Each structure stands twice: as C-alpha cells, then as structure tokens.
Copies of this chain bind each other. A is one copy, B any other.
Amino acid sequence: MDKKTRKSRKSLTREKIINLLKEKKTALTHKEFQDFFNNEVDRVTIYRALDFLVEEGKLHKVVNLEGGIQYALCQTCTHEKETHSHNHVHFSCLKCNKTTCLENVTPEIKLPKNFETTDIQILISGICDKCNE
C-alpha cells in the first residue's frame, strides 16, 4: 500500500521494535531483532515493520563498514521529518559491537570546487568510551 494513503494501526511488532531499540540504545540488524524476539515474530513481519518505520521516519538505516544494514533510533532524527538529516557520525565499537549515533559530532568536510552535498554518512569503527578504560 502506498505510504501516503495508508492508515496505520497499532502493531505489536512495530512497538516491540521501538521498545527494543530504546532499551538497547544501539542500532540493530534484522537478524538481531529476530533473535531478541526469540523467533516469535515471523521474519517477514520484521522486514515489513522495519520498512514501515523507516518510511515513517521513526527509524533510519545505518550501513556498517561491511555493508550490513542496521536500524537506529536517532534522537535528532525522530522528531522533524523534513529536516531529517544524517550528517552525524555512526560509531561502531569493535569491542562491545554496539553501533551508536554520536549526535554531537559534526565534522567539517570541505569538498573541492563545484561539488554539492546532499547527504553524508560517516562510519567510524574503533573503541567506544565505555570499553576504553
């Protein structure tokens, strides 16, 4: 169904996804949702719920350095759909494996003459503050 004309209803799966993301405070892959839900939710349902939430602007996709897709609940992203911006940094810790948004890091990138930026995605892998003691 078309995104525009569709009327959404209460969906247990979508609620579970949002709640899990709030609890874990990290971006998760489709497989991880499946595992956390103990396979009680059909994978197709998870695929569809994730797509729905991305379309709605509640989640966004994060691509990790290996090309794997994770879904994140970004504070700054969830509010205003129009100014929905991704030029912040996604950090993936090699130790605890958590992927998070570094909301406050806003890098400056000077492009050569005549290049125009539409979207930026920055992926950093390394050790996060919690694992680095």
Contacts and interface: CB of A to CB of B under 8 A. Distances in A.
A123 B120 contact: yes
Contact of A67 (B67, B115, B122): B67
Interface string A100-111: 001011011111
Contacts of A91: 111, 115
Say which size band chain A's interface belongs to.
35 or more
A69 B63 CA distance: 11
A93 to B, nearest CB: 9
25 contacts: A63-B64, A63-B67, A91-B115, A102-B115, A104-B112, A105-B111, A107-B108, A109-B124, A111-B124, A112-B129, A114-B128, A115-B126, A115-B127, A115-B132, A116-B126, A116-B127, A118-B125, A118-B126, A118-B127, A119-B124, A119-B126, A121-B122, A121-B123, A122-B122, A122-B123
Interface of A: 61, 63-69, 89, 91, 94, 102, 104-105, 107-129, 132-133
